[in-house]
Amino acid sequence: MRKFAAIVLAAAALFTACKGKGAQEAASEEEAALQYYRTDRTYDIADVEMPPLGNEVRNVIIMIGDGMGLEQVSCAWVLNHGKLNLDRFPYTGLSRTWCTNELITDSGAGGTALAIGQKTAYSCVGVAADSTDAASVLVKARQLGKKTGIAVTCHFADATPSDFACHNEYRYNQDDLIADYVECGVDYLSGGGTDWFTNIRRSDDRDIMAEMAAAGYTVARTEEQLMQAGLPVIGILSPDNLPVAKERGDLFRRTVARGLDLLSQGDKGFVMMIEGSCIDDWLHGNDIAKAMEELLDFDRTIGDVLEWAAKDGHTLVVVTADHATGCLTLQDGNLDEGLIGVHFASESHNGIAVPIYAWGPGSDRFTGIRENAEWGQLIDSFVK
């Protein structure tokens, strides 16, 4: 009863305060607390026909929108006037993201669960909950003779690419994570972070780019070099993350297309992880404009992948998130105008289940509500 009485008193106080200010003034204050945004880069979604569900799956493409919950997708849908490439996915489910020692996960544990099919502890990358190294789906693919690839918008020392290629019990042991790329065996790598490969950010004197070259990789420092290189190749195209979406234009889409072109030249198929990494960064900063431009660029990239996969006919495409970020709510806007008004309640992650989308052969198995590690196991089951 005391708790109930306190709630009633609080509600009465709020009502009195609003009444004292006047309804119009209170409403204007609430509206002023919202961030409004409209993009000038709307686009048409891919016009594709999905291959038969029973086709053999030769290739698996895993696409991760970092921080991309249903609320972020809903905002992007309004901005693009009620259409996204994600709308093309006929099979959807929900993914629970908690990790072994925290209810609210991070990109280390969240991405690792998808990569290895096991839940792990907060801040772990590429290791099980007991800190032992665990093989990702890319390692399994390589052991089967398949090609493997990673394309991201972040720097390579960030959690998600490391989840699939490296091993460490702490995601911020970044010197060690970058060193792991030398022997990771991934055929196609594209992202940013030259500073992390040299003593600009390293605490030792190792030149990891030189070590990767000695291991047989072409080290591409520019897009032109990446487009001319064969496999294995690592494209490190910026000092840190790639430029923000509006500045980089279609760079990310082109690096993904180059990866698909090179990886598909093998005769046993491939597995590729593609991440819209910086959606999360701007959600942490509560910057709706930059977060939405990253998400819309990710969705355009999804459209490119679907067009490629439709022509191939033997590719399973799975899109999901490692977690949601920002406690974002869509509170105002206009669908016809492509306008949103949003409120952030946090600068951190939250524990709400995130969507998972599947398209292509085998996609009908991606329905229901499962743990993120179970989705990782399901993805792994198609790599054979």
Q: How far apart are CA 370 and CA 374, in angstroms?
A: 6
Which strands sit side by side in the sheet containing 35-37, from one edge to the other? 35-37, 339-344, 328-334
CA angle 302, 66, 172 (to 5 degrees): 140
Q: Where are the domains of the chain?
A: 39-381
pLDDT value at residue 171: 98
Q: How far apart are CA 363 and CA 328, in angstroms?
A: 29
Look at strands 368-371 and 147-155 and give their pairing. Answer: unpaired
Contact 262, 187 (CB under 8 A): yes
* Closest CA relative to residue 151, chosen from 113, 185, 191: 191
Contact 34, 343 (CB under 8 A): yes
Sign of the CA dihedral with 34 first, then 244, 138, and 303 last: positive
pLDDT value at residue 266: 86
Contact 289, 37 (CB under 8 A): yes
* Amino acid identity for residue 276 in this structure: G
pLDDT value at residue 32: 64
Task: From first to last of the 384 residues of the chain, give the pLDDT tens digit.
Answer: 333 333 333 333 333 333 444 544 544 555 668 999 999 999 999 999 999 999 999 999 999 999 999 999 999 999 999 999 999 999 999 999 999 999 999 999 999 999 999 999 999 999 999 999 999 999 999 999 999 999 999 999 999 999 999 999 999 999 999 999 999 999 999 999 999 999 899 999 899 999 999 999 999 999 999 999 999 999 999 999 999 999 999 999 999 999 999 999 989 999 999 999 999 999 999 999 999 999 999 999 999 999 999 999 999 999 999 999 999 999 999 999 999 999 999 999 999 999 999 999 999 999 999 999 999 999 999 999
Superfamily of domain 39-381: Alkaline Phosphatase, subunit A (3.40.720.10)
What DSSP string describes 183-199?
G---SEEEEE-HHHHST
pLDDT value at residue 13: 38
The separation between CA 332 and the C-alpha centre of its own chain, rounded to angstroms, equals 26
pLDDT value at residue 30: 59
pLDDT value at residue 29: 58
Contact 328, 343 (CB under 8 A): yes
